Amino acid sequence: MGGAEVARAGLPAPAPLRIGNASGFYGDRFDAVREMLTGGPLDVLTGDYLAELTMLILGRDRLKDPNRGYAKTFLRQLEEGLGLAVERGVRIVANAGGLAPAALADAVRELADRVGVPVRVAHVEGDDVLERAQREGWGQGALTANAYLGGAGIAACLRAGADVVVTGRVTDAALVSGPAAAHFGWAPDDWDALAGAVVAGHVLECGAQATGGNYAFFTEHLLPRPQDPPASPRSSAEPFNQPFTAPLPHQASPAGPTEAGTGRRAPYRPGFPLAEIHADGSCVITKHPGTGGAVTTETVTAQLLYETQDARYAGPDVTARLDTLRLAREGPDRVRISGARGEAPPPDVKVGLTRFGGWRNEVTFVLTGLDIEAKAALVRDQVEEALAGQRPAEVRWTLARTDRADAAVQEEASALLRLVARDPRPEPVGRALSGAAVELALASVPGFHVTAPPGKGAPYGVFEAAFVPAAGVPHTAVLPGGERHSVDPPAHTRGLLPLDAPPLPEPLPPGLPTVRAPLGRVVGARSGDKGGSANIGVWARSDAGWRWLAHELTVERLRHLLPEVEELPITRHLLPNLRALNFLVEGLLGQGVAAQARFDPQAKAVGEWLRARQLDLPEELL
């Protein structure tokens, strides 16, 4: 009898499974593995190292050495972490295998022998479909092509007794749903329980983003330093040369720990999250005691909205319904997520392809003082004239008016004129472009200079998604003893049909007094990338705020507030249980993060831009 059946039958449930995360991306806090292993009890420690840009980077590594293509940092972390994990009975599951999970598994075994820590290592493979994509013609020119596998292969490895499981490209949430399925004995069609674990995995996957990192209302959790006058903003003319050292209330008391030898409070350092998963798929999101940051219903809401699209969160094992979730505070730094409902997964799985896109270069000109628009026009005309004989295929100019009148600091008197050029060939964006910029040094606008010397140009990559039948993608668990276990495709699938829009809440009474103020005074937001598109999740802080937000922030109003998206396709989705809206803006990021199509290539700050825009806000919400 599986864990979900046990829960339904009313029998004593298995103990919750405590799963922590120590990496949200390749390059995350190196010490997090040790911090999570020593900070409190865990059953499983996961690490998410892969993203669209990471696959491109690993693809380049593999070109140099076919046995590379995995996250090397993971091995360095295990030099200390492997012994700690075995000592504490913690299993490790990570997607650090990237493009070479078998090679990483071998490297982990070699490391274990070297440090004298015997472990059983397994890996999951089958996601690399590059040869097939090239053979069938839908992956021409691709550097990498990897299907997003589910958690069943991870579960098989753990059931076979693995202490360490490394994978290639699996969904980020599979790092959590796989161990949960193994622990509770869930069947492939225990969709509600699986959906709950997928939701927990989505919250954990980006590390400290669930514990106060990148959080819209971070200032509410900061304490002033004793030497700071209360509510005294930093002068615009004051050099910003001191690190901000106030901890969160959960990190230290007002007289809490200081940096050794300095007498200053320790810096803001959110801890990494963990989930206590129950047999029915519900969970509690928390963190180790004494670590920085905060876990609140809003930090969890922010992460639930991150890089999602509509209320159906589809994956290869299950489609989780985000519109069924309920959040509740269970105590300090403890948030329960319940109510998850799951559906059969879609028949197709996503394949991420990266390929060489061409050559790119950029120059940023600094324009200071008066006549900024005229200076920008002159620089642009001069550069365009110099490029006339060998103009790159794509040339984009943007002027950021970061200047202000009568500035007390030179940097605040300056605007930035940014030139980005792309071409299939290196020559038009190389010496031809850098020379056109450098040769203006003594023959252009007064005060001419650039932020950095122009380079010779560099290759850039592009990302695209394809979808192929799940039944045609191999999914293999290579068990600790070397046995190969083939994971069957889902027996039942369901297409992703559009959901009916939920009813809007009752609007606030008309005629309420309003104040012109930034939207962010009353709502939070988190934004991110979805291939070439961007998502903007926005949530209200109260029921009254939701009644206002759901009616006020329409697609049309979003276009008005963010003129850059005015001509792009936008879809709005409502999540009433979270008091949230989610906007999908198609094409904002061009060909994906690696192409660096805009100033903020991953759309990380679009939500903060939106919150800074001013509207007439009801006074009762302030």
Instruction: Indicate whether 246 pLDDT > 60.
Output: no
CA distance 37 to 20: 9
Predicted confidence band of residue 256 (pLDDT cuts 50, 70, 90): very low
Work out the angle between the directed axes of helices 174-184 and 152-159 (0-180°, nearest 10).
50
For 583-604, the three-class secondary structure string (H helix, E strand, C coil) is EEECCCCCCCHHHCCCCCCCCC
Quote the pTM value. 0.90
> Residue 423 in contact with residue 251, Cβ under 8 Å?
no
- pLDDT given for residue 243 in this prediction: 36
> What's at 473, amino acid-wise?
V
Name the DSSP class of 30.
Answer: T
Share of the chain above pLDDT 70, in %: 91
- Among 223-232, 234-243, 445-454, the minimum mean pLDDT is found in 234-243
Q: Could you give phi then psi for residue 260, rounded to 5 degrees?
A: -55, 125
- pLDDT given for residue 481 in this prediction: 95
Instruction: Indicate whether 233 pLDDT > 80.
Output: no
For the chain, the average pLDDT equals 91
CA distance 69 to 100: 5
- Among 62-76, 213-227, 406-420, the minimum mean pLDDT is found in 213-227
User: What are 143-193's pLDDT values in tens digits?
Assistant: 999 999 999 999 999 999 999 999 999 999 999 999 999 999 999 999 999
3-state secondary structure of 184: helix
Predicted confidence band of residue 206 (pLDDT cuts 50, 70, 90): very high
What average pLDDT does this structure show over 264-283? 87
Those residues with Cβ within 8 angstroms of residue 81's Cβ, 6 or more apart along the chain or in another chain? 33, 34, 37, 92
- Among 276-280, 484-488, 497-501, the minimum mean pLDDT is found in 497-501
Predicted confidence band of residue 4 (pLDDT cuts 50, 70, 90): low
What average pLDDT does this structure show over 595-615? 91
Instruction: Indicate whether 390 pLDDT > 60.
Output: yes
Instruction: Indicate whether 264 pLDDT > 80.
Output: no
* Residues paired with residue 523 on neighbouring β-strands, in sequence order: 540
- Among 265-279, 489-503, 514-528, the minimum mean pLDDT is found in 265-279
User: What are 537-573's pLDDT values in tens digits?
Assistant: 999 999 999 999 999 999 999 999 999 999 999 999 9
3-state secondary structure of 218: helix
